[in-house]
Homo-oligomer: A and B are copies of this chain.
Amino acid sequence: MNEGVEWALHCCLNLAWAGPERAVTAARLAAFYELPTAYLNKQLQALAREGIVSSTPGPRGGFRLARQPEEITVLDVVTAIEGRDPAFQCTHIRKRTPNNGTLLDDDFRQPCLVHQAMARADLAWRRELAGQTLADLKASIEGVAPGAAEGTRGWLLGGGG
């Protein structure tokens, strides 16, 4: 799985803590985790394309959450980075079997059951991710780390290095 997924999730949480008033630049988000700025910017662009964050250019520009944290699921962030395709790609090798005369032609009217089995697992994975919003994650973290919210917000918006 793409490494940017982890970056995107943490950055979205940070943007949630930063609040919607002011935008946070990619450089500042990258500095927070010592990540390569330009590459993180690429991930943020992907989030912007999917309407998860909104970007504003120019001075005082940067990124902010485009929706409320309650309206953004973890799945949204993951699919924005990874794309919509499921991990398991059925290449239909089953249909390349020899002598379809022996194997009934009717066999191939049915969907590939191997594909179905993998699709079920993929669905369970997506369902689990879709069941958690950024707000849930944010609340959980604040529960175990009360200082995280204000501390992160202060560092991102303040001038501190």
A27 to nearest B CB, angstroms? 14
Number of copies of this kind of chain in the complex: 2
A92 to nearest B CB, angstroms? 9
Q: Which residues of B contact A90 (CB under 8 A)?
A: 6
Q: Which residues of B contact A140 (CB under 8 A)?
A: 113
- A34 close to chain B: CB less than 8 A: yes
Q: What per-residue 1/0 map shows which CB atoms of A90-106 lie under 8 Å from chain B?
A: 11011011110011101
Q: B125 near A122 (CB under 8 angstroms)? A: yes
- A121 close to chain B: CB less than 8 A: yes
Q: B35 near A102 (CB under 8 angstroms)? A: no
CA distance A148 to B94 in the complex (A): 11
A9-B102 contact given A32-B97, A125-B121, A148-B107, CB 8 Å threshold: no
Counting chain A residues whose Cβ lies within 8 A of the other chain, the interface size class is: 35 or more
Known interface pairs A110-B145, A121-B128, A124-B128; 18 further A-B residue pairs with C-beta atoms within 8 A, sorted by A's residue number = A3-B89, A9-B114, A10-B93, A10-B94, A33-B93, A33-B96, A34-B93, A34-B96, A97-B152, A98-B160, A99-B155, A103-B148, A113-B141, A113-B144, A121-B126, A124-B124, A124-B127, A125-B125
Residues of chain A whose beta carbon lies under 8 Å from any beta carbon of chain B: 1, 3, 5-7, 9-10, 13, 31-35, 74, 87-91, 93-94, 96-99, 102-104, 106-107, 110, 113-114, 117-118, 120-122, 124-129, 132, 137, 140-141, 144-148, 151-152, 154-155, 160-161
